[in-house]
């Protein structure tokens, strides 16, 4: 970076959204005239998508992605991916009173999945078929949606996306109930898709689980060399095109003059200038702390109100566990994308009620835990990841900063609780084989992402916080964008393309929400 240089675009944050934004810009501009600079506060890019090593064990934060090939082709990135071909997910439904466990296996492939469900649950075969076919058609309608629809686009949407229009305001539960599926196990299976967005089915916007379900059924993948391949490859390509990275550098202010972007101010006091800024950090952090709500209020009161009302997603706990070579993880069926151990029924709804009160609602009668075995894909020393949502920020940050001993005690207490469940229902004698245990808490997520609430999945997709009701990417400040339309690697890479499309008036995606090559 040269002193006094003015950039075509400055991107704040080097996660998937920021990397994709910067690379898409680089692919579409002459960087000698309109250079791009990506600023990241950490020493490396990737944000929430990263891999880390502890005592020779390699862990990933992320676990599973849908097919991204069209986006990766556009970005000019090649990543070796393993496709889960058999069961890509297993759900262990536990009755905590009797310790009875029912295992539900979800095979890959839309048609295989449908056939298996219809055969297994003949009483609901018609209802299952209707639900899956309707949902598939609704998912495909996403290709006809525009990001910033004009009046004529809105009329076209009514014709081309009737299912989305009809169900846009519905929660998944409201939507699902219309199909009359009564088999508990089938309800259990579909609720797990809702919980992938860390919201219960009675609160999540229907279109989110429908999209997660359809995209993952089309194919669930994991990078064979670890998730940090994403940042490494995008970074390499960005730099090869002449894009610039400024690591270990924190943006503290977004500079605005007369309603227009002028640049950013760094923690060391330096200012860097540009006519376009794309912020990819937590929108509350960007718009309230870095810009200032008063500035937004002056320009657009409605947008300012929306910023205030935005609900961020919950936080999480994560256990990264390195084990010895004496457990045969493959024999336990762990070579699949995801395992969920759950007390089922309305467990996640009730866990969420506790979360909303600032409590951790897990107990011996109610739990919901994801278990993954990355090493069966990436090789290396055998390891496991245990994922837990919803967890509130609570006093985790406070404890970590002011009472580290109590912080450690609290996180170990919860880790023991979750290991107990995995040991009891999935991996017998797990404890005896543990070599390394690394525990992430909401304080970990708050620190790495900069999100004041340690939110792991960005703005939560409630019906009044998603789609048409989402905080818009184009802010009222000329030249400032915040492309945060849905969480996940797929959504974030796509968002980077969408925001460039907006700046370039449809050059990349013709204003569409989904990319069609
Ligand atoms: C534990 C976990 C597991 C997940 N698993 C999956 C999964 O299996 N599949 C999937 O598709 N998705 C998964 N996700 C979601 C996915 O990882 C995220 O949606 C996505 O990575 C978010 O990318 P982002 O670039 O929008 O934000 P982030 O990754 O949060 O990136 C923001 C970046 O901004 C930087 N930053 C913050 N403040 C500043 C500042 N002031 N100045 C400069 N830089 C700053 C941060 O350091 C960070 O690098 C998971 C998320 C978590 C946390």
> Which residue's CA is the nearest one to ligand 1's atom 25?
15
Best mutation site among 10, 12, 13 for ligand 1 pocket (most ligand atoms within 8 Å of CB): 13
Query: Which pLDDT value is given to residue 362?
Result: 98
Closest ligand 1 atom number to CA of residue 249: 43
161 Cα–ligand 1 center, Å: 30
Quick check: CB of 482 below 6 Å from ligand 1?
no
Question: What is the tens place of the pLDDT at every residue in 260-310?
Answer: 999 999 999 999 999 999 999 999 999 999 999 999 999 999 999 999 999
Contacts 24+ apart (CB under 8 A), 124-133: 124/181, 124/182, 124/183, 124/186, 127/179, 127/180, 127/181, 127/182, 128/181, 128/186, 130/179, 131/176, 131/179, 131/181, 131/190
Query: Which pLDDT value is given to residue 196?
Result: 86
Closest ligand 1 atom number to CA of residue 62: 5
Q: How far apart are CA 299 and CA 475, in angstroms?
A: 10
Q: Which distant-in-sequence residues (6+ apart) come within 8 Å of 450 by Cβ?
A: 13, 41, 281, 282, 285
Q: How far apart are CA 497 and CA 515, in angstroms?
A: 8
Candidates 458, 450, 473, 512; CA nearest to 277 is 473
> Which residue's CA is the nearest one to ligand 1's atom 34?
13
Closest ligand 1 atom number to CA of residue 495: 26
Q: Identify the segments of the chain with pLDDT beneath 70.
A: 1-4
Centroid of chain to Cα 252: 25
Is residue 395 exposed (0-12), middle (13-18) or buried (19+ Cβ within 10 Å)?
middle
Is the CB of residue 465 less than 8 Å from the CB of residue 289? no
Quick check: CB of 49 below 6 Å from ligand 1?
yes
- Report the CATH number of the 6-50+227-311+459-503 domain: 3.50.50.60
4 Cα–ligand 1 center, Å: 30
Closest ligand 1 atom number to CA of residue 290: 41
Quick check: CB of 89 below 6 Å from ligand 1?
no
97 Cα–ligand 1 center, Å: 38
Closest ligand 1 atom number to CA of residue 46: 49
Residue 439, classed as helix, strand or coil, is strand
310 Cα–ligand 1 center, Å: 18
Strands 383-391 and 368-372 turn out to be antiparallel
76 Cα–ligand 1 center, Å: 22
Widest CA span in the chain = 71
Best mutation site among 488, 495, 499 for ligand 1 pocket (most ligand atoms within 8 Å of CB): 488
**What counts of helices (H) and strands (E) characterise the chain?**
20, 20
Quick check: CB of 456 below 6 Å from ligand 1?
yes
Query: Which pLDDT value is given to residue 88?
Result: 87
Best mutation site among 48, 264, 316, 496 for ligand 1 pocket (most ligand atoms within 8 Å of CB): 48
Closest ligand 1 atom number to CA of residue 13: 34
Q: Strands, E, within 224-280: which ranges? A: 244-246, 251-257, 260-266, 271-274, 277-279
Best mutation site among 19, 43, 47, 226 for ligand 1 pocket (most ligand atoms within 8 Å of CB): 47
> Which residue's CA is the nearest one to ligand 1's atom 33?
13
Quick check: CB of 323 below 6 Å from ligand 1?
no
Q: How far apart are CA 196 and CA 474, in angstroms?
A: 27
Best mutation site among 46, 281, 337 for ligand 1 pocket (most ligand atoms within 8 Å of CB): 281
């Amino acid at each position: 970076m040269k002193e006094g240089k003015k950039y075509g675009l400055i991107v704040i944050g080097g996660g998937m959204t920021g990397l994709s934004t910067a690379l898409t810009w680089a692919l579409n501009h002459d960087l000698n005239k309109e250079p791009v600079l990506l600023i990241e506060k950490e020493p490396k890019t990737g944000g929430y998508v990263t891999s880390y090593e502890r005592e020779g064990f390699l862990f990933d934060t992320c676990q599973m992605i849908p097919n991204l090939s069209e986006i990766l082709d556009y970005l000019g990135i090649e990543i070796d991916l393993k496709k889960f071909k058999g069961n890509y997910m297993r759900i262990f439904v536990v009755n905590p009173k009797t310790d009875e466990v029912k295992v539900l296996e979800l095979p890959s492939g839309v048609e295989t999945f449908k056939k298996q469900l219809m055969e297994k649950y003949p009483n609901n075969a018609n209802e299952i078929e209707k639900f899956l076919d309707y949902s598939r058609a609704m998912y495909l309608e996403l290709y006809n949606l525009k990001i910033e629809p004009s009046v004529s686009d809105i009329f076209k949407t009514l014709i081309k996306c009737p299912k989305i229009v009809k169900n846009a305001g519905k929660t998944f539960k409201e939507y699902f109930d219309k199909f009359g599926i009564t088999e508990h196990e089938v309800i259990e299976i579909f609720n797990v898709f809702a919980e992938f967005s860390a919201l219960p089915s009675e609160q999540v916007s229907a279109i989110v689980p429908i999209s997660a379900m359809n995209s993952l059924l089309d194919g669930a993948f994991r990078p064979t060399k670890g998730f940090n391949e994403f940042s490494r490859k995008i970074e390499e390509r960005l730099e090869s095109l002449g894009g610039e990275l400024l690591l270990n550098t924190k943006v503290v202010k977004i500079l605005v003059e007369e309603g227009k972007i002028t640049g950013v101010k760094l923690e060391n006091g330096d200012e860097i200038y540009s006519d376009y800024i794309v912020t990819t950090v937590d929108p509350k952090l960007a718009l309230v702390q870095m810009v200032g709500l008063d500035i937004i209020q002056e320009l657009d009161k409605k947008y300012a109100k929306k910023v205030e009302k935005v609900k961020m997603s919950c936080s999480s706990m994560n256990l990264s566990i390195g084990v010895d070579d004496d457990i045969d993880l493959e024999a336990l069926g762990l070579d699949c994308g995801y395992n969920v151990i759950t007390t089922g029924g309305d467990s996640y709804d009730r866990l969420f009620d506790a979360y909303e009160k600032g409590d951790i609602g897990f107990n011996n009668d109610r739990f919901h835990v994801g278990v993954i075995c990355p090493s069966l894909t990436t090789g290396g020393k055998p390891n496991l990841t245990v994922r837990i949502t919803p967890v509130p920020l609570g006093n985790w940050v406070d404890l970590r900063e002011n009472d580290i001993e109590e912080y450690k005690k609290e996180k170990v207490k919860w880790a023991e609780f979750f290991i107990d469940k995995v040991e009891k229902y999935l991996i017998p004698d797990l404890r005896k084989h543990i070599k390394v245990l690394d525990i992430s808490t909401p304080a970990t997520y708050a620190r790495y992402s900069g999100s004041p609430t340690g939110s792991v999945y960005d703005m939560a997709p409630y019906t009044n916080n998603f789609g048409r009701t989402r905080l818009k990417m184009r802010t009222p400040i000329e030249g400032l964008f915040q492309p945060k339309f849905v969480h996940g690697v797929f959504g974030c890479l796509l968002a980077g393309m969408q925001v460039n499309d907006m700046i370039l008036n449809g050059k990349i995606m013709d204003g569409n929400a989904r990319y069609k090559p």
